[in-house]
Structure 1
């Protein structure tokens, strides 16, 4: 269903504002409880930041999203949507690392219990010298003792922590930032130690198979949006696309929600939109500190797409160091024949976000020519750039103080989104966890049916 909503949902209904992964998760969870749910999304499709578009004969994802085996909530959502088969999960963590002028080096875990599973990989990482490898092992041991849930830890810089533990700049570039930049969308020097510890401890250091990498095999719209609409409509939920919410007002029996072309009534509301939007929509009585959410800022990601006339690599995914490239993905369609569609994903792309597309393409063509010898002599049939100026919030030290909890001061109104205080970085896992938490809180509040929030709003 599309278009503005001009009639209210049935009595006792719940309104979910925002159709990203957090909103999809919350809507399904609430509909599973038998609650009437209306999901409002301003765009033409669900999926939020995980969407696709058509360009010529290609279906292109806006960003190259991957997940880890430890993303239990996100993987659970895929199972519920019935789209797990549209992804591929490594049997064992493996990342080819490319350095200009060198053959690929394969970082892989061994079938050993954590943390021993990574010791052979670090000991044999030939892009580091022996002293750097030993220093990296010692830092890994120390990082296992860092508490990612401590507010004090969040105030510290991961870069400062690495320097204090003997990690020299070349070691940081060739190992730590390989993961940090991709996972947190900021370099180690600007990253929260708490969020970095969450990434490394949960993903790599505590459980042997937690860091195995999964990636989509189908367009993100197919993986999330189409399947979510199918599940929600089967549950009786109403999905309203192209329905932008303009305001939310508390009422004696719930809330009124203003939508383009009308308004609706709801007993409960899940506000599952980016923090920039949420701060403008949330009633002041619900979150008096909402103005401070702007301090979370935004960090960009840029993707450069290169379609080669012939295959230039057999690698499906690789990371690059000491190069303008970062992570490289093969997104060739099954029917692409001998052509190959490579995507270079550039996180922490503050320097790239406003550069002309022609410059970005030229830089990455040269970079891939240095990393992949076959790319030097293979014509590029097409090249283009996608940009996500607000891909994540800026995950700097001290940001946790600005990430709100799911519950607000108005019972019946809850917040969701990877930017809320999930304890996780701004990832698909964090988004799904936030949707689950918001739905659970709202369901408990509706059972108790509080009626005093309008007095707090006056």
Structure 2
């Protein structure tokens, strides 16, 4: 068994995944996180008797590495996974329409009934959407040319009119890429639609946490890493990484650590400041990734207003709404998630709450007959990087020019969008870079028996 010490800077999903892979390979790991708890962007806070997640994170059945991480953390049973893709589509004044895959047909035929019967579109638009879906299967998500054009441009070139784009493609694209089709990379959209919806019949079955994110990721990760012999230090901010004596020295507020290798798993603006110039001389280009916001509106009702667990809104300010009511509590706690939220990011909380509460009352008439007990807004100005055309050329690989110094984070070049799956994959890639440098094998991804 090897005993090299590795420093992992950043305790989000990427850092957690990297640290677990490294300790499983027999290395001593010190994980350093600036926040008081692990979890990164997937964290929770208390508001009275309520545990609030900062964002509504969902996943798909095809998120294999993320789901394996939940199993490793012992929390897979705290997330619900559909046994068939099914999304209620809400419009004011009409019954919900359920967009669902066929349970017995193979891909891509499993989506034909859903598209042929998609009521928000006219029949001719549905046929055009089926043709576009077939064409999308031919787009290579790893083709640089596909990354240079927008999904919206491609859709228009393939016979999709503005209503079809808005009522079908935008519904999924905006939620998955935190960008509407006209601002989304075709390559990343192809990854979402091909991997998630077109290549396997069950790939897009939706999963969602049934426990607070802090109980799903951060807390269990801290427990597991400590059980495996790792050192976890939270509330510690790293200020510098420098090469020293064939390894690296990590310095910061209350920390001075000599290590043989480093995984730098922080958001790209911080990574660009911390990474030594010789390791990433092109780090300035990472700034081109920018940031895209998500805003969440939280509403607690005295009584239940809907039996839906989640739904997507169409022709309403409510993009997606989730029932996050704690088990055994009275009333109902709904969260509206607004992706690509640049237009509402600076809107005053009072105005935003009025708009969303009124929109919820239009969708759920029972909301007009019950009292709102609490309502508040959470904002994530840097929820994801901007997944726009050309963004892949700004995403660096895990391996830097300095041996033993690897980058991790959903913003690195995983080929995946900025998702929980992308974050976990990036952590695994970074750990493998470090393991190769240290002469270890990366085949052991589970704890030794």
Deviation track 1:421-457 (CA, whole Å, cap 9, x = no partner) reads 0000000000000000100111011118xxxxxxxxx
Does the CA-based 8 Å contact 2:293-2:379 persist in structure 1? yes
Equivalent position of 1:217 in the other structure = 210
What is the DSSP-based 3-state SS (H/G/I as helix, E as strand, rest coil) of the residue aligned with 1:389? strand
Does the CA-based 8 Å contact 2:3-2:26 persist in structure 1? no
Equivalent position of 1:233 in the other structure = 226
**Where does 1:327-338 land on structure 2 (aligned, <5 Å)?**
327-337=320-330
| TM superposition score normalised by structure 1 | 0.95
Deviation track 1:68-107 (CA, whole Å, cap 9, x = no partner) reads 0000000000000000010000011000000111110001
Structure 1 position 366, deviation (Å): 1.1
Equivalent-residue separation in structure 1 for 2:122 and 2:162 (angstroms): 13
What is the DSSP-based 3-state SS (H/G/I as helix, E as strand, rest coil) of the residue aligned with 2:14? helix
Deviation track 1:326-349 (CA, whole Å, cap 9, x = no partner) reads 000000011212x00000000000
Matched, 1:410 2:402: yes
The more displaced of 216-225 and 256-265 is 256-265
**Where does 1:46-445 land on structure 2 (aligned, <5 Å)?**
46-110=38-102, 111-337=104-330, 339-445=331-437
Gap runs ≥5 in structure 1: 1-9, 449-458
Equivalent residues, number: 438
What is the DSSP-based 3-state SS (H/G/I as helix, E as strand, rest coil) of the residue aligned with 2:271? helix
Gap runs ≥5 in structure 2: 441-449
Which stretches of structure 1, 4 residues or longer, exceed 3 Å deviation after superposition? none
What is the DSSP-based 3-state SS (H/G/I as helix, E as strand, rest coil) of the residue aligned with 1:382? strand
Structure 1 position 253, deviation (Å): 2.1
Deviation track 1:372-427 (CA, whole Å, cap 9, x = no partner) reads 12122222111000100000000000000000000000001000000000000000
What is the DSSP-based 3-state SS (H/G/I as helix, E as strand, rest coil) of the residue aligned with 2:439? helix
Equivalent-residue separation in structure 2 for 1:365 and 1:249 (angstroms): 51
| TM superposition score normalised by structure 2 | 0.96
Equivalent-residue separation in structure 2 for 1:225 and 1:126 (angstroms): 41
Equivalent-residue separation in structure 2 for 1:303 and 1:116 (angstroms): 35
Deviation track 1:8-37 (CA, whole Å, cap 9, x = no partner) reads xx9730000000000000000000011000
What is the DSSP-based 3-state SS (H/G/I as helix, E as strand, rest coil) of the residue aligned with 1:438? helix
Equivalent-residue separation in structure 2 for 1:276 and 1:325 (angstroms): 31
Deviation track 1:337-376 (CA, whole Å, cap 9, x = no partner) reads 2x00000000000011111111111010111111112122
What is the DSSP-based 3-state SS (H/G/I as helix, E as strand, rest coil) of the residue aligned with 2:87? strand
Does the CA-based 8 Å contact 2:152-2:181 persist in structure 1? yes
